[in-house]
Amino acid sequence: MLRPAVVASVVFVAAVGSAAEPQKPTKEFRKAFEKVFTPPRLGHDFGAFAVLVADDVPTVSRYGHMRSPEDMQGFQTIRVDVVDGQLSYDAKSFAKHSVGTLLKRGEVVGIVHVGYGKGTVELSFETRRKLMVTRTEVGAPVKQQTEGELCTTVLRFRLPTGLAQPATAAEVPAALEYVGGFLKAFPDEVSALAYARSLK
């Protein structure tokens, strides 16, 4: 008579364990989230615009380590995790090997992609102004040049553990507040620029 009780307890523990695992946000979450951080529509470079409200966010030239006249390397970026409100990336490797810089509070960016993973939201952005970066010239490894180039970053936000899994539309306000510690979204560039000026 004890066997059914044992089986039931095992099933219960397995269900609890699986509920705690990070899961991809629901369709309802994505729809509500993208009303604020809008992805680009077909034929447009950007969706929403945003202003950085945190300092020292790494970014790299979209042309990679060595830019050729034909831009053979294509689109490059750097992925930075945001875990418990802190940036997580290899700072030493970035400083030594990357063609990039650290963005400061008030930088205006355009959202080029919105993505989702298990318990994560990814926001890819590109700077709206060219930033000064130093790179090695093609064919002349000892010669360097510094010039302004557009830069990109992917911020991958690990959603707070307190949110339900999978995150639904009910979790969007909390997710936006969390993301808002780094990026404040605007529907157009004019509004973003006005807000950025207010931060100076």
- State the CB neighbour count (10 A cutoff) for residue 76: 18
b/e code 37-65 from CB counts within 10 Å (16+ = b): bbbeeeeeebbbbbbbbbeebbbbbbbbe
DSSP state of 138: T
17 domain-assigned: no
1 domain-assigned: no
9 or 93, greater pLDDT:
93
Main-chain phi, psi angles of 37, to 5 degrees:
-95, 80
- Residue 113: name the closest of 72, 148, 156, 74 by CA: 156
pLDDT class of 3 with cuts at 50, 70, 90? very low
CA atoms of 110 and 108, how far apart (whole Å): 7
CA atoms of 21 and 27, how far apart (whole Å): 18
Bridge partners of 15, per DSSP, are none
Residue 68 has pLDDT above 90, yes or no: no
Per-residue pLDDT at 99 = 84
9 or 42, greater pLDDT:
42
The highest-confidence range among 75-89, 138-152, 162-176, by mean pLDDT, is 162-176
154 domain-assigned: yes
129 domain-assigned: yes
pLDDT tens figures, 22-67: 899 999 999 999 999 999 998 899 999 999 999 999 999 887 665 5
Burial class (CB in 10 A: 0-12, 13-18, 19+), 25: buried
Q: Which domain range does residue 122 map to?
A: 24-198
Mean pLDDT, all residues of the chain: 84
135 or 136, greater pLDDT:
135
8 domain-assigned: no
Structural contact between residues 183 and 50, judged by C-beta atoms closer than 8 angstroms: yes
Structural contact between residues 80 and 89, judged by C-beta atoms closer than 8 angstroms: yes
7 domain-assigned: no
**Which residue carries 């992805």 as its tokens?**
39
Domain count of the chain?
Answer: 1
The residues near 137 (Cβ < 8 Å, ≥ 6 apart) are 66, 143, 144, 145
Q: Is 71 helix (H, G, I), strand (E, B) or coil?
A: coil
Q: What is the mean pLDDT of residues 10-28?
A: 64
6 domain-assigned: no
Residue 88 has pLDDT above 90, yes or no: yes
199 or 12, greater pLDDT:
199
191 domain-assigned: yes
